[in-house]
Structure 1
Amino acid sequence: MDFHCHLDLYPNARDVYAQAQERNEFTWLVTTSPRAFTATSRVLGGSDKVLITPGLHPEIVGARHAELDMLLEQIRQVKAVGEVGLDGSKRFQASYDVQRSVFIAVVAQCAALGGRVLSIHSRQAVKDVLAVLHDHPGYGTAVLHWFTGTTTELNAAIAQDCWFSIGPAAFNSAAGQALAKKLPRDRVVPESDGPFAQVDGASVMPWSAGHTAQMLGKVWDVTPADAMHILESNSRRLLGLIRAQG
């Protein structure tokens, strides 16, 4: 399974989509904007094995925030939302206030509709992400994608019942490995974040869960098979939460 993939943005998206349907039991295709969601849904279509969800990536909120109303309407029709969230890195500081207003509106809409499962970007913005979630009880379930916060922020996210999606590229650094070791083993699911995430210069593919299990096995001090069993069990639970929404 893959719980965070930009499958539509691979250079050969149709081929990768077809392979994902063959290789994966489930792939969560997160889109970067409401218009992208509409186009991807039309071109690739959804299936029982590929879930396409609407989002508004914080990195492009500055240019695309006018699509917010479209996103809020799309959220009515789906069980999950992503990619959404906040990016507090220096490169996107100019749009941070707009990012925050968009994210608040998205989470509030999810709460008003009875809850959704959200794939959330939280780079250098974990505290604010968690504050928005805390302020909107009933929003659903948060899956923090490629979490890179501090240990204190991780513990705060765990206390708020967040889930975490992680892929092979998260292990490229010693810091990433150290953080992966601390993730709650009952709330971790695999992701690829392809085609953006890379390992050894190549884009991570949607069927990378086995690689993720190998890396988690090392930091958790369990066998790859045991790590895969944990990921599969968690994935089925999270998939159940997604299917129960809406």
Structure 2
Amino acid sequence: MMDFHCHLDLYPGARDVYKEASERNSFTWLVTTSPKAFSATSRVLGASPTVLITPGLHPEIAHERASELGLLLQQIEATRTVGEVGLDGSPRYRQHYEVQRRIFNAVVRRCAELGGRTLSIHSRRAVRDVLAELTQHPGYGTAVLHWFSGTIPELKAADAQGCWFSIGPAMFESASGRSLAEKMPRDRVVPESDGPFAKTDGAPVMPWSADETARRLSPLWGLSQEETAETLTSNGKRLLQVMGVDRLA
């Protein structure tokens, strides 16, 4: 199984969950929420041949960690993947939107300057601005829009720009999430958990949830669960090649 967006370091009992994910998954993308968190997580959890830990700066805390932007830009130089980064235009974080935009602009611009990176991107109520930023820096690399929650026209625009999409079991809890999942490009969808923040039945989604994603997605795509799982796995292997970490597949 694979998980292309997981806050593995933030689960209760993170070391045990990290160990189990390392054993059960062929690949887990551990996205961090700040540059200092990336440094600490890399040190505390250590290296695993099946877990990729990447530097990021989550838009929900961008205003609190803006002083770490310089550190993030340095960290990006040493990795081919970045996450979690992006924009959040929901009411709770809208007052800090300009700070978010300044940081995201700097990240995307730096990725373009370095020849391209693969980014796991948060785009809640900010899809148009995220896509505009990516368009402004065409050499940025590859975008993976995590838990996409925009409109159908925004989905079509992101598809036209070649974006990938990572989705997990929690996305299917809403009618809008199911509608979006049904219409996503089938060759650019990969599984994620977004645990421990994402929950189903009141419990955090675990990093080894790809089979559950396939089960919930299969009727929307009109495929068997096995065919859906095979598609997600094939997509994941191709994305890993784009990311330059195909050795983990």
Scaled to the shorter chain, the TM-score interval is over 0.9
Partner residue in 2 for 1:130: 131
1:76-132 CA-partner distances (Å, limit 9, x unpaired): 011100000000000001110010010000000100001100000000000000000
CA distance 1:221–1:191, shift in 2 (3 Å)? same
1:1-246 matches, cutoff 5 A? 1-243=2-244
* Secondary structure of the corresponding residue to residue 124 of structure 2: coil
* Letter aligned with residue 148 of structure 2: F
SS in 2 for 1:110: helix
Distance in 1, matches of 2:212 and 2:245, equals 29
Distance 1:25 1:203 in 2: 20
CA distance in 1, matches of 2:144, 2:49: 20
Q: Tell me by how many angstroms 1:65 deviates.
A: 0.6
Question: What is the distance in 1 between the residues matched to 2:175 and 2:98?
Answer: 32
Q: Distance in 2 between matches of 1:179 and 1:164?
A: 10
TM-score between both structures, scaled by the size of structure 1: 0.98
* One-letter code aligned to 1:145: H
Distance apart, 1:48 and its partner CA: 2.0
Cα–Cα, structure 1 residues 244 and 47, in superposed 2: closer, same or farther, change >3 Å? Answer: closer
| Corresponding residue pairs, total | 245
Structural RMSD (CA): 0.9
Opposite residue 210 of structure 1, the aligned amino acid is D
Point out where structure 2 has 5 or more consecutive residues left out of the alignment.
none
TM-score of the two chains, using structure 2 as the length reference: 0.97
CA distance in structure 1 between the aligned counterparts of 2:206 and 2:173, rounded to whole angstroms: 16
Percent of matched pairs sharing the same residue? 66
Structure 1 distance, partners of 2:49, 2:156, is 34
Please state how far the C-alpha of 1:47 moved relative to its aligned partner: 2.2
Q: In structure 2, what is the Cα distance between the partners aligned to 1:231 and 1:18?
A: 23
Shift of 1:175: 1.1
1:221 to partner: Cα distance: 1.2
Q: Moved runs in structure 1, 4+ residues, more than 4 A?
A: none
CA distance in 2, matches of 1:178, 1:23: 30
Instruction: Note the C-alpha offset of 1:244.
Output: 6.6
Instruction: Indicate the SS of the match to 1:91.
Output: coil
1:45 Cα offset (Å): 1.5
Determine the C-alpha separation between the residues in 1 that align with 2:197 and 2:161: 28
Partner Cα separation in structure 2 for residue 217 and residue 100 of structure 1: 36
CA offset digits 1:18-63 (Å, max 9, x no partner): 0001100000000000000000000012322000000000000011
Gaps of 5+ in 1: none
Could you report, residue by residue, the CA deviation over 1:199-224 in whole angstroms, capped at 9, with x for unpaired residues? Answer: 00000000000000001101111100
Distance between the aligned counterparts of 1:54 and 1:172, measured in 2?
Answer: 29
